[in-house]
Amino acid sequence: MSKTTLPSCTTLSVNITDNIAHITLNRPKELNSMIVAFWTELPSIVRLIDEHALARVIVISSQGKHFSAGMDLSVFQNMGSSYDGEPARRAESFRRHVLELQDAFNALEEVRIPVLVAVQGGVIGGAVDMISACDSRYCTEDAFFCIKETEIGMTADVGTLQRLPHLIPQGLVRELAYTGRNMMSAEARSCGLVNHVYPDQENMLIEVMKIAKTIAGHSPMAVTGCKEMINYTRDHDVADSLNYMATWQSGMMQMPDVMEAMSAGKEKRRPNFDNLLPKSK
């Protein structure tokens, strides 16, 4: 499957070059707010890239002054229209709606390949949920992060409160969630939310693409194994994680990629690895 078969989207664009898929949020005039279409387009594109093995790493960025203002007002309005009818059935329906929204960002975590996100300006509300599901985060000096939901009378519900405590100290998560204050780039770097802070978006994207290129040059089997194990370890104890590692390695560690990496090192050339296989239908 070639990149030309990727469907067109209203909220993002995709470019795939040298095994790197660059997804760009492209509604800068609307501050890349997450309209209804976004919640299906993002997971569909991410899963399509993974299922057809179109890339070995994904980089997400956005156009404009701000990365994203979070969930668009239109989504909240749709939610409001669901508050009608018999209470139990209404609640069950709304629960399924929230699960569907959560699935949009679960996709970033569930795909086999790493997802890097490069942000500038405001990372607000749903955007914090989004970046929390990515493998690594990078930002510009003008970036700030805000769990905005608290200020508008609701609890963040699509991943921030579940993932952020695994990324930064829990006490800090609680402060950010309870107050809704902005966390600036320097604080985000010092607490470990982002890996690096860059002076501007241009420099950030150059450097993040270098990181993506390095990842894409490694054995896709080794990289997907790393992602699988790190995600599993986050949610399980050490003993269970070591047992899963041994089981994974007994089936997934084969010699062709190891021998190719060793040969490339001796010959001082770039190794040549096969892509992951597309998922079977």
Q: Are residues 133 and 233 in the same domain?
A: no
Backbone angles phi, psi at 249, to 5 degrees: -65, -35
Q: Are residues 205 and 104 in the same domain?
A: yes
Encoding tokens for residue 122? 């405001």
Model confidence at 94: pLDDT above 70: yes
Q: Tell me the per-residue pLDDT of 231-263, one tens digit each, with 9 for 90 and over.
A: 999 999 999 999 999 999 998 888 899 999 999
Confidence of residue 84 (pLDDT cuts 50, 70, 90): confident
Q: Mean pLDDT across the chain, nearest whole number?
A: 94
Helices 38-51 and 87-110, packing angle to 10 deg: 40
Q: Are residues 253 and 176 in the same domain?
A: no
In a domain, residue 29? The reply is yes
Q: Tell me the per-residue pLDDT of 135-173, one tens digit each, with 9 for 90 and over.
A: 999 999 999 999 999 999 999 999 999 999 999 999 999
Strand runs labelled E in the chain = 12-17, 20-25, 57-62, 115-119, 122-124, 136-140, 144-146, 182-184, 196-198
Helices 220-235 and 238-252, packing angle to 10 deg: 160
Picking from 178, 61, 200, the residue whose alpha carbon sits closest to that of residue 123 is 61
In a domain, residue 281? The reply is no
Q: Are residues 9 and 127 in the same domain?
A: yes
In a domain, residue 192? The reply is yes
Look at 37-41, 72-76, 81-85 and tell me which has the smallest mean pLDDT.
81-85
CATH code at position 262:
1.10.12.10
The pLDDT of 172-201, averaged and rounded, is 98
Q: Are residues 178 and 222 in the same domain?
A: no
Last residue of a domain, one of 216, 233, 249: 216
CA-CA-CA-CA dihedral for 163, 213, 241, 252, to nearest 10 = 140
CB distance 119 to 139 below 8 Å: yes
Q: Are residues 184 and 259 in the same domain?
A: no
Q: Are residues 146 and 57 in the same domain?
A: yes
In a domain, residue 280? The reply is no
In a domain, residue 129? The reply is yes
Give the structural domain span for 153. Answer: 3-216
- Structural domains counted in the chain: 2
Report CA-CA distances (Å) from 48 to 2, 14, 60: 11, 12, 15
Q: Are residues 80 and 154 in the same domain?
A: yes
Confidence of residue 4 (pLDDT cuts 50, 70, 90): very low
Q: Are residues 225 and 237 in the same domain?
A: yes
Model confidence at 81: pLDDT above 90: no
Q: Are residues 44 and 58 in the same domain?
A: yes
In a domain, residue 123? The reply is yes
